[in-house]
Chains A and B, each alone.
Chain A
Amino acid sequence: MQIAEVERVVREAAQVDGVAPLLVDSWRDRGGVHLVLRLASPGDAVAGFRSAELWTSGAEAFFLDVDDEFTLVEFEYDEDDQPALVHQLVSVASEYLLGSFREVEELGPRGRVRRHLVVVVDGEEHWLAHWPDRRLLPALQDWLDARVRPLVRRRRTLRVGHR
């Protein structure tokens, strides 16, 4: 997706039925777009302090950061299905901002406690992982940018060729 299209889809999704009306502030950075989501009418003071940020370069990885270093990373390799994923992430953000989530702590087989936030949208669970050090995430995005964009260009060239 072009990042302008990501912005358009997020703003549209932030106003649809079933999603709490959201305020959207966006900024662009190094070819990507960051969209900060907040409740338009926070029902209580606690919820009003929460925020969520969806960021992507429009390549196949889409990141949803919420408070306290929890992140949902979703991949959608099919460009045609990416708008639906963006809608879904906005729904996840909305539920989170409304306080409709639970925190889960699990002790893995070898280790330390894993912390997650679980948000349910349309009966499907979305697990936001705790990423205490996020340096690899932008690098991941950079790899995708370099990897996916040439493929997108190639696909568009092919489509033109079919006409």
Chain B
Amino acid sequence: MNGSPRPHRPQQGTSGFGDVLVSARSLAEYRAVFGLTDADLAGSVLDCPGGAASFTAEARGLGADVVAVDPTYPPAGPTAQRAVRLRRLGEQAAAEAERGHDWICSHPDGFVWTFFATPEDHLAQRRRAAATFTAHASAEPQHHEQAALPHLPFDDGAFDLVLCSHLLFTYADRLDDAFHLAALRELVRVARGEVRVYPLVVVGGNSEHEGLEALLEQLAAEGVAAGLRPTGGYAFQRGADRVLVLRRATSANGNGNGEESRADR
């Protein structure tokens, strides 16, 4: 620490959005966003960053092998301490939902009301997810590890599927492309199969990140195949209707899921 360069400080965000740090999303929302199938959930899954999503709780309840990581989770240590902190995080996420609701109500044109029927439905779903997260994470904190991109404490190919929701590209106004590249490399490193990233639109924006093409070109040069796939029927933020799918080019599965390759766009 002492004598080393100061941490890089990205530019302050300009989106004007409410800067929601931990949001609570459900398994149903993850299914709709990422087009998750039961087959996807039959393998090991990493949710990075997990925030206060109830995805891990609900999917594990169905027998899935899911681990969530997030920088806001408590570090390793006594289980009881970790449980208390995870519970407080969940409670904070419930409070966040209220603030997100206020922002959404003041910017209704920025959203598509299909997955969520109304702002009130959105709030109710967030509250439910936060409550589920709180109960599960405080009871089983071992499935929630503290970690942050672009460095994950897992072996190469540790997970069959890696999901990245509402971090990369969402905060592109304050995390630069070098960070994004390092983060995407790390997600690919720990994935045995696909990496799915959503959304590709900065928070408060309505078009995909302009640096996306260059990032994917760089990854392609490193042997990472990229495609863009429609969400599994999910729509909420305008312009956020595609999922970035990455996999090592040597993956045995190939690109057979109907997504556009970079060249198709």
Query: What is the interface of chain A, defined by CB distance below 8 A to chain B?
Result: 29-30, 36, 51-53, 65-69, 72-73, 75, 77, 104, 106, 108, 110-114, 116, 118, 124-129, 131-140, 142-144, 146-147, 151
Contact = CB atoms under 8 A, between A and B. Distances in A.
Interface string B141-153: 0000110111101
B72 interface: yes
Contact of A111 (B7, B92, B153, B179): B153
B192 to A, nearest CB: 11
A108 B146 CA distance: 12
Interface in B124-146: 145-146
Given A53-B1, A65-B1, A77-B92, A143 B21 contact: yes
Given A72-B75, A138-B9, A131 B148 contact: yes
B71 interface: yes
Interface residues of B, number: 43
Contact of A142 (B67, B77, B174): B174
B1 A135 contact: no
Contacts of A108: 145, 153-154
B89 interface: yes
B1 A69 contact: yes
Nearest to A50: B2
Contacts, number: 121
Count chain B CB atoms within 10 A of each CB in A69, A124, A127, A140 and give the residue with the most: A127
Contact of A140 (B71, B75, B78, B88): B71
Nearest to B150: A133
B213 interface: no
A139 B180 CA distance: 13
Majority secondary structure, A binding face = mixed
A15 B20 CA distance: 37
A147 B175 contact: no
Contacts of B265: none
B93 to A, nearest CB: 11
Given A137-B148, A138-B10, A147-B20, A112 B155 contact: yes
Contacts of B88: 75, 77
B159 interface: yes
B154 A67 contact: no
Interface stretch (B11-19, B28-36, B249-257): B11-19
A118 to B, nearest CB: 8
A88 to B, nearest CB: 13
Interface in B147-177: 148-151, 153-155, 158-159, 171, 174-175
Nearest to A49: B2
Contacts of A140: 21, 71-72
A112 B19 contact: no
Contacts of B44: 110
Nearest to A71: B1
Contact of B75 (A116, A142, A146): A116
A135 B9 CA distance: 7
Contacts of A72: 75
13 contacts: A30-B9, A36-B2, A51-B1, A52-B1, A73-B71, A129-B76, A129-B146, A131-B148, A131-B151, A133-B182, A135-B175, A142-B10, A143-B171
